[in-house]
Structure 1
Amino acid sequence: MTALTAAAAAGTAAAAAPGTGVEVTVGLVLLLLAVGLVAGTVDAVVGGGGLIQLPALLLVPGVSAVQALATNKVGSIAGTAMSSATYLRRITPDRSATLPAAGLALGGAVLGAMLAAIVPEALFRPIILVVLVAVALFTLLKPSLGQEAQLRFPPDSAAHHGVAWTLGFLVGVYDGVLGPGTGSFLVIGLVALVGFSFLQATASAKVINLATNLGALLFFIPAGHVVWSLGLALAAGNLAGGYLGARVAIRFGSGFVRIVFIVVVAALVTSMGWDVLRGR
């Protein structure tokens, strides 16, 4: 049974998304709204919303892998914009570290999206998997990590800014090439390398992640890879989830964010490990 036939049988309207072979039904839109809400909530706390959204998009008949990646960014940028605004009303980030890092992350994401067409994912996944396992162990073995801010360098030093800016650029490139776990990498980098608390790191990571999503879309939109009807449904859910997740993180603090971080990293390790085992 085709998606169109199934929709007709259920008494819902279906229409093909312009320029794609994707059949859009009311049921599909409602499902993606719910997916966006859950993903946006998780992503606002510690990142990792793509772990929820990407598999959901890849299950939609007619959506290619590159369309799923591009459409996911439409939902994600809405969620990160909302969570960033919510955090910034309550938490003052280190602007001298965060804003330049966001600018470099945007450029890195554009570069990464261009590299994605020529660099095989199989080259990256085993390396990223090892890094994720190390990050999980490091976080588990250091329970005090990120509970309070403990800056590694003086806040006005070149080293403090250089580490934050380099992290933004490198994670931006990663987001353009692969994507899953970008927010989590930013959080742990800002905690372990810069010395922010988990809550401070999450607030700064949202601003930087907003830039990486924008950078990727600067490549994906002109290339025509976005399925807008699906992306806008995800975006609506992400707006609500971004607000909810940021409020929850602010309410419960760095200890709560650390627990969610460990859960999300474990999910990333499981997902990427499975892909590596299957040779994907």
Structure 2
Amino acid sequence: MTAATTGGAVDAIVGGGGLVILPAMLLASGLPLPTILGTNKLTAIAGTASAAVTYARRTGIDWKVARPAAALAVVTAGLGALFAGSVPAGAYRPVILAVLVGVAVFVTFRPQLGLAPDPAKRTRVRVAAMILLAGGVIAFYDGAIGPGTGTFLVLAFTGVIGADFVHGSAMAKMINVGTNLGALIVFGVFGHVDWTLGVLLAACNIVGAQLGARVALKRGAKFIRIVLLVVVLSLVAKLGYDQFG
């Protein structure tokens, strides 16, 4: 319960809540991996939807990007879920680890990144690329693997179309709802969801998501940047340990 609440708060701020929830479920639930992944999607969709509503009410959403990307994400995340567990972790872990190290260095040495919007980046080509990246590539990753998806989305919205961290987090939540829904449908069809446990964890996740979203909106882009770096470094540490530990 504590992990679900904490994960919901982290996820609402900058993504990466799966870093908290999935290890706890692996240790405590005793469920098969596909069922853990499916149950986590039920948990996550409740928190992300709750946070998305809070962000939408309190800040502007670029619907021309978020709406088509979220719709595409339902499909591609579902396709990703069909491949969940079929690709060995060793095949993707080094690539993601290298990307995250690069992200950590980039964010560290670009202290102004995401603190203010950069409208010049919002061109038609970049918007189209953002829709395909968020709704296609990142959504597929979320369905197939998962942890860190929200973080990748925030960084993409910031780097590709020049959103600040607050609006990037807001749009990331919209896409995350789509990815979680698409994956949940597939996991549910194949019976890989513990609905009782999932509903219980979802209630805790909503509480955490509300706390996280409200803190992020109150504290602003600088706070989100700090949390972003913490989450990215945590992902690097976890994947590094899995790879070399």
Q: What TM-score does the superposition give when structure 2 sets the normalisation length?
A: 0.96
Task: Please list the CA deviations of residues 120-161 of structure 1 after superposition, one character each: whole Å capped at 9, or x if unmatched.
Answer: 22211110000011011100000000000013534xx42132
The alignment covers a number of residue pairs equal to 244
**1:68-93 deviation per Cα after TM superposition (whole angstroms, max 9, x unaligned):** 11111111000001000000001111
- Kept in 1: contact 2:121–2:160 (CA 8 A): no
1:138 has 2:106 as partner: yes
Aligned position for 1:65 = 33
Q: Percent identical across equivalent pairs?
A: 45
Tell me how far apart the structure 2 counterparts of residues 246 and 205 of structure 1 sit (CA, whole Å).
12
1:100 and 2:71 equivalent? no
Matched, 1:239 2:206: yes
Q: What's the counterpart of residue 181 of structure 1? A: 148
Aligned partner letter, 1:175: D
The amino acid of 2:130's aligned partner reads A
Report the 3-state secondary structure (helix = DSSP H, G, I; strand = E; otherwise coil) of the residue aligned with 2:119. coil
Indicate conservation of the 8 Å contact 1:46/1:184, yes or no. Answer: yes
Any idea what the Cα deviations from partners look like across 1:3-51, whole Å, max 9, x if unmatched? xxxxxxxxxxxxxxxxxxxxxxxxxxxxx2x221111111100001100
Matched, 1:228 2:211: no
Normalised by the size of structure 1, how large is the TM-score?
Answer: 0.84
Secondary structure at the counterpart of residue 189 of structure 2:
coil
Name the CA shift for 1:152/1:175 in 2 (closer, same or farther; >3 Å).
farther
Deviation of the 1:61 alpha carbon: 4.7
Q: Which residue of 119, 122, 129 maps to 1:163? A: 129
CA contact (8 A) 2:150 2:176 kept: yes
Does residue 83 (structure 1) correspond to residue 51 (structure 2)? The answer is yes
Root-mean-square deviation (CA, aligned residues, Å) is 1.2
Matched, 1:153 2:121: yes
Q: Distance in 1 between matches of 2:77 and 2:35?
A: 17
Structure number with greater CO (CA < 8 Å, separation at least 6) is 2
Segments of structure 1 that go 5 or more residues without pairing to the other structure are: 1-31
Unpaired segments ≥5 residues, structure 2: none
- Give, in whole Å, the separation in 1 of the partners of 2:120 and 2:140: 24
Structure 1 consecutive aligned stretches of length 4 or more whose deviation exceeds 4 Å: none
Which structure has the larger Rg over C-alpha atoms?
1
- Change in 2 beyond 3 A, CA 1:114/1:92: same
Query: Aligned equivalents of 2:43 and 2:140: distance in 1?
Result: 19
Are positions 1:200 and 2:167 aligned together?
yes
Maintained 8 Å contact 1:115/1:177: yes
Deviates more, 1:78-87 or 1:163-172: 163-172
Pick from 39, 63, 72: which aligns with 2:7?
Answer: 39
Contact 1:249 1:257 in 2 (8 A): yes
What is the Cα deviation at residue 117 of structure 1?
Answer: 4.6
Structure-2 residue corresponding to 1:258: 225
> Which structure is higher in helix share?
2
User: Structure 2 matches for 1:6-17, cutoff 5 A?
Assistant: none
